[in-house]
């Protein structure tokens, strides 16, 4: 199963740091690719540097037409929104399918059509918080925490220490 994250509403002038965090969170919590609805090479360049150092095959892509990408996606389209169904009540159903997943997260305001395009509108609790928080909790639920033990081939590896830092190449 492949997991894709589509981040809508990236604003070139304001969101570089936040969208980079969306990318790093997607990668670290088991997703395969981040898709953006706006071309911003600063994001893909900084993620490429992380992948070069820390391994794996995660990538960032830019969509010219995100609506047609979503419509033709073969798998489950899951939109994270505080207005959706509580993740606690639907995660078992979502996990029971091996289909690829497209997880949509918003920025300031998500176009209302997204609610209809999604197979699932899922809330990570019904309080407003952040796309990074919603995404990390949701991915962790999908993978049941196993993603935290994953090795990212070809990268540096941390040897966990009670105190201090140890990294091997
Ligand atoms: C700054 S929030 C926007 C909050 C906005 N009121 C909304 O429509 O959800 C940006 C994104 O974070 C995600 N998000 C925030 N709170 C969430 C929650 N409780 N559950 C799921 N996703 C959430 C959604 O993907 C949302 O589009």
> What is the Cα 122 distance to its own chain's centre?
14
By C-alpha distance, which of 133, 77, 67, 69 is closest to 101? 77
- Atom nearest to 110 CA in ligand 1: 27
Cβ pair 47, 27 in contact under 8 A: yes
Alpha helices in the chain (DSSP H): 16-28, 41-54, 66-71, 87-95, 113-117, 131-143
Tell me which residues have their CB closer than 6 angstroms to ligand 1: 80-82, 105-107, 110, 123-125, 127-131, 134
Q: Average pLDDT of 62-89?
A: 98
| pLDDT tens column, 41-71 | 999 999 999 999 999 999 999 999 999 999 9
- Which band of pLDDT confidence, cut at 50, 70 and 90, is reported for residue 35? very high
Structure tokens at 84: 């959706």
| pLDDT tens column, 152-168 | 999 999 999 999 999 99
For residue 68, the CA-to-ligand 1 centroid distance in Å is 23
In the block, tokens 């505080």 appear at 82
Residue 108: pLDDT over 90: no
Residue whose CA is at the smallest distance from ligand 1 atom 22: 81
Residue whose CA is at the smallest distance from ligand 1 atom 18: 82
């Amino acid at each position: 199963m492949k997991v894709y994250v589509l981040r809508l509403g990236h604003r070139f002038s304001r969101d570089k740091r936040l969208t980079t965090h969306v990318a790093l969170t997607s990668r670290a919590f088991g997703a395969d690719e981040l898709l953006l609805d706006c071309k911003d090479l600063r994001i893909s360049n900084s993620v490429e540097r992380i992948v070069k150092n820390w391994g794996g095959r995660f990538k960032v892509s830019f969509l010219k037409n995100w609506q047609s990408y979503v419509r033709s996606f073969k798998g489950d389209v899951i939109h994270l929104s505080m207005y959706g169904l509580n993740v606690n009540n639907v995660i078992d159903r979502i996990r029971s399918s091996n289909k690829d997943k497209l997880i949509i997260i918003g920025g300031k305001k998500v176009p209302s059509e997204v609610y209809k395009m999604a197979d699932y509108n899922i809330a990570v609790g019904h309080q407003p918080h952040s796309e990074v928080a919603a995404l990390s909790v949701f991915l962790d639920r999908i993978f049941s925490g196993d993603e935290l033990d994953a090795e990212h081939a070809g990268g540096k590896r941390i040897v966990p220490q009670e105190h201090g830092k140890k990294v091997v190449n």
